[in-house]
Amino acid sequence: MKVYITREIPEEGLTIAQTAAEIEVWPGELPPTREQLAERVRDVDGLLCLLTDAIDGWLLDQAPKLRVVSQLAVGYDNIDVAACTARGIKVGNTPGVLTETTADLAFALLLAAARRLPEGDRVVRNGGWHTWSPLFLAGRDVHHAVLGIIGMGRIGYEVARRASGFQMQVLYADAQPNAQAERDFGARLVTMDALLENSDFVTLHTPLLPATTHLIGERELALMKPTAVLVNTSRGPVVDQRALYKALVEGTIAAAGLDVFEHEPLSANDPLTQLDNVVLLPHIGSASIATRTRMAVIAAENLVAGLRGEPLPCPVN
């Protein structure tokens, strides 16, 4: 059997994949183009892909033998799952193993934006630190503040755990109540509007779906406190980026910490890069060596199970 892997992945994943198939790996640092990928999947049985690869009906039609698509990520909005299902192709992802690493990063962004850490770093490096003074780089307290979590799933729950260590009050908005978060951290389920109006920090942990696209737009930003900080480690299109830029410039909200963007990679010329009140990261929520290794192992296990016609350990369809 043949498998195509769309980027170098940790060795541990390759070793597992090699037990079931002949492997070919895209050697580039940048993803293959649609056409390049189409050429490479023509006679493969399995595909291990990343969130940078668009796996849609057209691509699947170029791969008549394909029986499994294994995504090395928990989010899979780059894959047309219905098109895979219609063709009898199994889809897998890597939930669970990146939960805490991503929650760590969300909290790091929250702290960095609140306490203006990147600004401080830039000031020191640029020779702008001349003396100690009372309001020099004064930021906002995180401890005892109100944190609004939109999407109390696995990652949202772990962010709430971190917040409880900072004695924050946790509000959350979700279609489903999370009794465990309520019991463990005193989290309170409220409407989205109430969450936006009452939170000092708002952090997003929803998948990207039609219903969550531009979930945070001009209206929602206007409901937030002018002192509030928005954190996004979910998917870029959950936030209307133009509206956010405007809100940051006009002082509708105080600051933001962003790991994800409407179009990635974010251009170095994007207007957001000109603002001091936003912390920008290059989609590294799950990027610890241990977690990326575990993700590669699960993605490879999904792939091998799919090739063998067995149930995937982490199925999407």
Q: Could you say which DSSP state residue 239 is in?
A: B
By CB under 6 A, tell whether 286 contacts ligand DGY.
yes
d(Cα 112, Cα 5) in Å, to the nearest integer? 35
At 47, phi and psi to the nearest 5? -135, 125
Question: Is 283 a known active-site residue?
Answer: yes
Q: What is the DSSP letter of 147?
A: E
Q: Which residue from 74, 108, 278, 312 is in contact with ligand DGY, where contact means CB under 6 A?
A: 74
- The piece of 23-31, 71-79, 157-165, 249-257 that touches ligand DGY (CB under 6 A) is 71-79
Q: Using CB under 6 A, which of 75, 148, 151, 257 touches ligand DGY?
A: 75
Write down the catalytic residue from 162, 205, 235, 292. Answer: 235
* Contact string (CB under 6 A) for ligand DGY, positions 88-117, x = contact: ----------x-------------------
Among 66, 73, 142, 208, binds ligand DGY (CB under 6 A): 73
Give the C-alpha separation, 80 to 55, whole Å: 6
Q: Is 235 a residue of the active site? A: yes
**Phi and psi, residue 23, nearest 5°:** -110, 140
Tokens at residue 47, please? Answer: 């595909």
Alpha helix positions (H), the chain: 11-18, 34-40, 57-61, 81-86, 99-114, 117-125, 154-165, 179-185, 192-198, 218-223, 241-250, 289-307
User: Least distance to ligand DGY from the beta carbon of 50, Å?
Assistant: 9
Minimum distance, C-beta of residue 252 to ligand DGY, in the bound complex (Å): 27
Q: Closest CB to ligand DGY among 21 and 97?
A: 97
Positions marked active-site: 235, 264, 283
Residues that bind ligand DGY (CB under 6 A): 51, 73-75, 98, 285-286
